[in-house]
Every structure is written in structure tokens, then in C-alpha cells.
Amino acid sequence: MHAVEVIHSKRDGHRLTDEQIDWVVAAYTRGDVADEQMAALAMAILLNGMDAGEIARWTQAMIDSGEVLSFGDVGRPLVDKHSTGGVGDKITLPLAPLVAACGAAVPQLSGRGLGHTGGTLDKLEAIPGWRACLTQEEIATQLADVGAVVCATTPTLAPADRKLYALRDVTGTVESIPLIASSIMSKKIAEGTDGLVLDVKVGSGAFMKTPERARELAETMVAIGSAHGLATTALLTDMSVPLGRAVGNALEVAEAVEVLRGGGPADVVELTVALAREMLALAGITGVDPAQVLASGQAYEVWERMIAAQGGDPSAPLPTASHVEELVAERSGVLARLDAYAVGVAGWRLGAGRARKEDAVQAAAGVRLLVDVGAEVEAGQPLLELHTDTPQAVDGARAALAGGVVISDEPAARPPLVMDTIRP
């Protein structure tokens, strides 16, 4: 086969054959198809799409480019969760130990943040001593002993996706739903779990800005899961407003610990419990109420063991920023808007995120939200705290928030947090 023939086929709107897909993904992974050729094919896929059969085969080809993990019998059903990314989205931190406390095992292979969305590994690395990189044997042992692991993806997992992801990022093809869906699902299927719950974010702070696009992505991923024998459910959840009141690495860890101790913001608790219920359903665990388990503190005990198993000290003080400034209300009224994207960019500029994968992040940087949307405020009242170790970054953060924090005379309410559930 020749790459140009495959490109021509998709460029002209034809369906790629299984043989074409298998060949082009394998050839690109080993370097026989050049970046510019795969970029052209990715653009053709973006413009002309793929049908369900093509997407399922493309996903399988990416799985086949590497190793499928096997953790053996850990004594519990394996179930995982994936979020498409948002602002203040620390849900994995309380969710993994909660589901483990309810009787399942959670192998959560996670990533780092890029741009305005935070990364789970960056958050956990704010904990002194915590280690992200584990071997497959270490993951299996921790699943059996603790029931939950949050760690970096192993290098052998879907290497084709890692290479293609980087290419899409610089060629304007990130938005292709077939390529997004196959990217996410190839890694999750290769993890070897029994069930998967997807948290597909919708709104300004999400990758998918509209419910229609988010639903299309969710339905595509659920279909991929079904085609590969992986029980998959997706929740569409709101990301027009940040989740919780903390945005940033150490700030979000502290908030997650509050939730695990039976407190924390209501929206973080609500989404954690909603996702836990779906995960337990896929794992076949009945008669356990995750809301009660969370309130009891049992999940916090699992958290302590999970952190300690990876070298972290769960009782150690978290990093704090050397510089904190407040953003205050310019007038009295109702906080009508607190835009997730604006807050995410502000946190990024303060040092909580990165523009390139190789950039470092500040563990203590971020934004703390002091007032909920819909609350009445007085002129001069603090609305946000800006945390950073680089005071010169504050002006850029304030500029990012211009227009994203709106006070009006009219009452305002947040949209429902869980907007819909997609099942096979």
C-alpha cells in the first residue's frame, strides 16, 4: 500500500478499508509514513468524517500498535473513568478512592494539563513525595492491596496515539470527533478494564462548547466501547462554570481532601457521587450507596493508603503561593457569570498550567473562588483569590478574567450539573 492512495481515498469521501486502516496506523507508528502524509490524512478525516466501522477499526489499530495491559485477578471488578477535561475538574481524586471503598478496583491512568485545562498528575505531584510513574506490576499490586491507582500512562500503551496526538495538535485537526474518540478509547480499552464511565464536559471551559458536539462525541465513544466489548456509559456534564471553588494543583488537592472527609463544595460532591454510581453499576456492585460511603470517611482512608503506596505523604502540608491577590466586585448586585474558560486561562497564566508539554507548572498557583454564581455581592467584596509565585503574572490573569466575571441586577442560576446520560 501507499500512503498517498489512502489519503486520496479519504480526501474523495470514500470509506477506508480495514486493510488500509491497519496498514497506515502501523506504518505511521514505525516511521514508514511521514508526518506530512499523516497530517494530510488527519485533515481528510476531519473534513469527511468516518463511519462507525471505520472508527472502531482505527481504534483497534491504535490499540494493536502497543501493549494491552493485564493486571491479573486483583479480587475485584475493574472499572475506570475518563473526563474530557475542564476547569477545577479534580473529580478523579475523590472518585477513585470512593469507588475502591465501595468494592471495585480503579486503574486510573491519567495525564498532565495543557492550556487552560488541568491535569490529574500535575495536581497529585503537589503532594510531597508522590510518584506518577509505575510499572505494570506495581499497578497490579496496588490494585489488589488498595483498590485504586492514579498514575501516568505506561509508554507501551497505544504508542500510535501518542504520536498522532502530537501531530494533530500542530496541524489544526484536534477537533475531529473520530480522532478524539479513537484517541481516548484506544488507551482506555488497552488498559484492560471491565467497564468505563466517560465524563464528557460541555461549555466554555470544555473542549466541546455545545451540547450537540458533546453528545456526538459521547455517542461515538460509547459505540466504540460496545464494538470492543467494553461496557461504557457517558455523562454529559456542565463546564460553563468551574467545578468547585479551587482551580490549580495544590488548591484542588486540598479541596478533594475536604470532599473525602465528608465536606467540600456541593457540585464536586454531586458529580463524584453520580460518576461513582455509574461505575459501580458497570462493575455489578449493588446495595452500596456511594454518598453514604463518602460521608462516612471510608474513602478518605483509601485515599491515604493510595497516596502512601506511591511514595506520597498524605499528611504533609501542601505548597502555598508566595503571592496572593484578590479580585473584588466593581459594583453591588448578583454574580451572574463566572466563566470557566476565563478562570482556567487566569490559572494557567498564574503558573498552574503549561503552554507546551515540556513546561513546568507551579504547584501552588491557581485561583480560589470565594463566591458562587447566583449569590448577591457588595461593591468591593472579594470574589476571587489569585495565587502565584510569580507576581508579574497577576496582570495577565486579571486581563483573562475581564468579561468572564459579570455582576448584574438579575438573579442567575447555574445550569444542571449532569445534563444527560448516554448508554449503549
For 66-108, how does the pLDDT look when each residue is reduced to its tens digit (9 = 90+)?
Answer: 999 989 899 999 999 999 999 999 999 999 999 999 999 999 9
What's the CATH number where 13 sits?
1.20.970.10
199 is known as an active-site residue:
no
Q: Residue 170 has what pLDDT?
A: 84
What's the CATH number where 119 sits?
3.40.1030.10
Domain match, 261 and 327 both: no
Domain match, 16 and 114 both: no
| Residue where a domain terminates, one of 316, 349, 368 | 316
Catalytic residue chosen out of the listed positions 183, 186, 204, 240: 183
Question: Helix 52-64 to helix 159-169 angle, to the nearest 10 degrees?
Answer: 120
215 is known as an active-site residue:
no
Q: Residue 310 has what pLDDT?
A: 98
Three-state DSSP state, 306: helix
Q: Residue 155 has what pLDDT?
A: 83
For 64, counting Cβ atoms within 10 Å of its Cβ (0-12 exposed, 13-18 middle, 19+ buried), the class is middle
Domain match, 307 and 334 both: no
123 is known as an active-site residue:
no
187 is known as an active-site residue:
yes
Q: Does any domain span residue 421? A: no
Catalytic residue chosen out of the listed positions 76, 81, 90, 168: 168
Answer yes or no: are the C-beta atoms of 68 and 192 closer than 8 Å. yes
Domain match, 117 and 210 both: yes
Catalytic residue chosen out of the listed positions 116, 187, 215, 368: 187
Catalytic residue chosen out of the listed positions 57, 82, 349, 368: 82
Q: Residue 154 has what pLDDT?
A: 85
Q: Does any domain span residue 183? A: no
Catalytic residue chosen out of the listed positions 80, 89, 122, 161: 161
Domain match, 43 and 96 both: no
| Residue where a domain terminates, one of 292, 316, 340 | 316
Answer yes or no: are the C-beta atoms of 381 and 371 closer than 8 Å. yes
Q: Does any domain span residue 184? A: no
Domain boundaries, position 42: 3-49
Domain match, 358 and 270 both: no
Low-confidence ranges of the chain (pLDDT < 50): none
How many whole angstroms separate alpha carbon 170 and alpha carbon 348?
20
Q: Does any domain span residue 62? A: no
Question: 391: which DSSP letter?
Answer: G
Domain match, 398 and 288 both: no
pTM: 0.95
Domain match, 338 and 401 both: yes
Q: Does any domain span residue 361? A: yes
Domain match, 365 and 388 both: yes
Domain tally, the chain? 3
Q: Does any domain span residue 159? A: no
Q: Does any domain span residue 301? A: yes
Domain match, 201 and 86 both: yes
Domain match, 371 and 404 both: yes
| Residue where a domain terminates, one of 282, 316, 350 | 316
What's the CATH number where 386 sits?
3.90.1170.30
Domain match, 297 and 396 both: no
389 is known as an active-site residue:
no
Q: Residue 158 has what pLDDT?
A: 92
Q: Does any domain span residue 280? A: yes
Distance of CA 244 to the CA centre of its chain: 15
Q: Residue 284 has what pLDDT?
A: 97
Nearest-CA neighbor of 178 among 13, 52, 8? 52
